[in-house]
Structure 1
Amino acid sequence: MPHFSKTLLFPGRSSAELLSIAYGTFQELSWKLKIAGNDQIVGYTNSKWKNKGEEIIVITENEKVIMMSKMVNGEVLDILQKNRRNITRFQQAFENLVQHEDVLQLENWTGELSTLQQETFLLAEQEKEERMEVERIMKLSSGSRSVTYFLIGTNALIFLLMWITGAGIWEPGTDVLIKWGANYKPMTTGGEWWRLFTCIFVHIGIVHLLLNMYALLMIGNYLEPMLGRLRFTVAYVCTGIIASITSLWWHQDPIVSAGASGAIFGLYGLFLALLTTNLIPHSARKALLQSIGIFVLYNITYGLRSQTVDNSAHIGGLLSGLAIGYLYFFTIKTEARLKTNATLVAIISITVIFGSLYIMNSNDDSWVYQQHVEKIVGIEAEALKPLQNIKDPMLLKEVATVTQPKWQEAKHLLEETSMYKLNGQLVNHRKMLEQYLDLRIKQTDLIIIALQGHENVDSELNRYTENINVLLERMQK
């Protein structure tokens, strides 16, 4: 920061005398005094608008005064030479007081300076105690951050593996995301419940990864040392899972959702909850609360305006983090191991129960049904293959031993889906597919009869063929 300093010599003057005159100089200039030590005074010039004035530091030794003016409002250059002008004003006022010394006034300044020095000492002791209390609670210098680094490394490694195996570095396709464990309602509620967890470690491009990992590093630096590895891990995983469930519940039309942001918002919500209590000393709490509050408010507002951000997951993570934060407050304050363990068990149990109830009540077997349909389509191709060469002398045997069993196999496979929970469109599709397979079985029976030399089946065979074609057209609509 721009600064300017100057040294003045006053032969025969002690450090204490010069410091008292420096105190009087601040009074003469109506500059604000901040703190005073045994050999220095710190104050500010008059403030303008919302900015503080320049910082003025005066250090005294026997027969010597060192004056410094420093800009403290983020300035890069002192274009207007404010620092030099401040020192000139201070020097002129200081020298004037030395030349026209008033013994009584000097005694008054010495007394007032002594009071300021005592206040400074008490303030320093108070700040020291607050720093010690902050350290005792937050453990910023002694606590571990190993889980934070592990989570960042794991997310980065998974993204690297995705990229090596062909995923786009900027925006991987939905098929790739689903393959690597993204949250997709038809699959998650259709049996692959583990996607509620795995989606926390899958990211939609390098920018998405970097932004999330930066946010995780920032919150992890504060939160993990204070919570400890176990509480931090439980909070990250549980809020991440609840964020995934919230995303499924909110989006009626299935979307592919991935990323650690739900869990990260959970950590920010947890910290926000702790900052609204008296756990952390007020001096540190105020600045942190403002910083965390701005981060959360900005990102939630941005998510509301963006079509690509899964804000429901953010809000779900944030709210669950707030709840966990208030539960953690009591365990951190008392440091009772039994209470801590009971709280962790309760949080994990609630998350598991909540997730299980949601999966059971919103069970959607459409994805599993589609898998069955794909298998049936493959079986259909095998069943129709012998009919592609009607001049084959072995046609009768092929139809009897391949085509007919394959249609029966497809029918049995479809029957496995009879209890599946499907939407109205797929229910209709299943009914038509069942009719189609029944028609194919009956058609194949007539083909076998015809190939055995029986007559008078052609008209009936043609009728089945027409019904099949009509049904296929309906199914394709």
Structure 2
Amino acid sequence: MFIRNERSIKEFIQSYPVVSTLVIINLILWLIINFLQLPIGFMIRDWAIGYNLYIAAGEYWRLVTPIFLHGDMMHVLFNSFSLILFGPALEQMLGKFKFIFAYLGVGIIGNIATYFFEPLYYAHLGASGSIYGLFGIYVYMMIFRKDLMDSGSTQMIRAIVVIGLIMTFIRPNINIFAHLGGFIGGLLIAPLVLRNVRGYNPWQRRSYRTDDDSIQFDPNRWNKKRLLPPKIKKNLPWIIIGILALFGLLSRLF
């Protein structure tokens, strides 16, 4: 489920438009606000950042908008990388609208938890609540919908969740309640969004059109060169886990 088979960025965007759009929004807003530091960026940040005091005053959009804002470079890269890795399978399985509902829903639940459990003057931003919400959906699948996950994906999710929860409590400046709230939100929302879904098929969109506009599979598909050597492909989940752990360590150090 988490091995990317797309042969280009263009194919990835065409296959997973929602995930691609979310990543692009994250990166553009980060560039405008943090890198280019444009005046409009500061206006967007002040209008959209999660601030419990303003939420209490009735600015409820701040339960949603912080999902698209990030702090330093490691913050936006880590969340965007996680979305690229764990989002595509769910986007295909759930469909565009249910995936958007799930992604925003768990993020909002994480921000609501932040509002109730953090002080009134607490400010926050980031998509981590939504990312941990996706983890919650996968954990629900791992426990209650085993028909939707292969054993390799199950092992990877188990390891990622353990690492993620550990990093939540040992890294400084982490919105713990957004992580935990998003994760619990994923567990709660999973039965609703997973109703009547089928397992992930990595070749579902790998089709080619002929002159009669009918969809056919490429007859030479299986004769093409493999994108990854067998040894790397076999150990790819553990390589990805190592990269995630390294990102977490770097973000803690810098």
Q: Distance in 1 between matches of 2:122 and 2:45?
A: 11
**Structure-to-structure mapping, 1:329-368, within 5 angstroms:** 329-332=194-197
Q: Distance in 2 between matches of 1:156 and 1:329?
A: 29
Q: Aligned residues, how many?
A: 184
2:216 equivalent in structure 1: none
1:131 equivalent in structure 2: none
Q: Considering only aligned residues, what root-mean-square deviation do their CA atoms show, in Å?
A: 2.4
Structure 1 residues 287-330: Cα deviation after superposition (integer angstroms, max 9, x where no partner): 21221121112111111123311111011001111111122333
**Contact persistence 1:204–1:259 (CA under 8 A):** yes
Return the TM-score normalized by structure 1: 0.36
In the alignment, residue 159 of structure 1 is paired with which amino acid? W
**Contact persistence 2:106–2:130 (CA under 8 A):** yes
Structure 1 residues 102-155: Cα deviation after superposition (integer angstroms, max 9, x where no partner): xxxxxxxxxxxxxxxxxxxxxxxxxxxxxxxxxxxxxxx9x9311000000011
**Contact persistence 2:102–2:193 (CA under 8 A):** no
2:189 equivalent in structure 1: 324
Q: Distance in 1 between matches of 2:195 and 2:88?
A: 21
Return the TM-score normalized by structure 2: 0.66
1:305 equivalent in structure 2: 170
1:161 equivalent in structure 2: 32
1:195 aligns with 2:62: yes
In the alignment, residue 330 of structure 1 is paired with which amino acid? R
**Contact persistence 2:135–2:183 (CA under 8 A):** yes
State the Cα distance separating 1:178 from its structure 2 match. Answer: 4.9
State the Cα distance separating 1:177 from its structure 2 match. Answer: 8.0
Q: Distance in 1 between matches of 2:143 and 2:168?
A: 24
Q: Structure 2: give runs of 5+ residues left out of the alignment.
A: 1-11, 199-254
**Contact persistence 2:94–2:194 (CA under 8 A):** no
Q: Where does structure 1 differ by over 4 angstroms across 4 or more consecutive aligned residues?
A: 175-178
Distance 1:277 1:189, change over 3 A: same
Structure 1 residues 11-49: Cα deviation after superposition (integer angstroms, max 9, x where no partner): xxxxxxxxxxxxxxxxxxxxxxxxxxxxxxxxxxxxxxx
**Structure-to-structure mapping, 1:4-403, within 5 angstroms:** 144-162=15-33, 163-166=35-38, 178-252=45-119, 254-280=121-147, 285-332=150-197
**Contact persistence 1:178–1:184 (CA under 8 A):** no
State the identity as a percent: 28
The SS at the match of 1:307 is: coil
Q: Distance in 1 between matches of 2:160 and 2:143?
A: 16
State the Cα distance separating 1:247 from its structure 2 match. Answer: 0.9
Q: Structure 1: give runs of 5+ residues left out of the alignment.
A: 1-140, 334-477
**Contact persistence 1:248–1:254 (CA under 8 A):** no
Q: Distance in 2 between matches of 1:144 and 1:228?
A: 11
**Contact persistence 1:243–1:313 (CA under 8 A):** yes
State the Cα distance separating 1:176 from its structure 2 match. Answer: 7.4
Structure 1 residues 24-79: Cα deviation after superposition (integer angstroms, max 9, x where no partner): xxxxxxxxxxxxxxxxxxxxxxxxxxxxxxxxxxxxxxxxxxxxxxxxxxxxxxxx
The SS at the match of 1:155 is: helix
Larger relative CO (CA 8 A, sep 6+): 1 or 2? Answer: 2
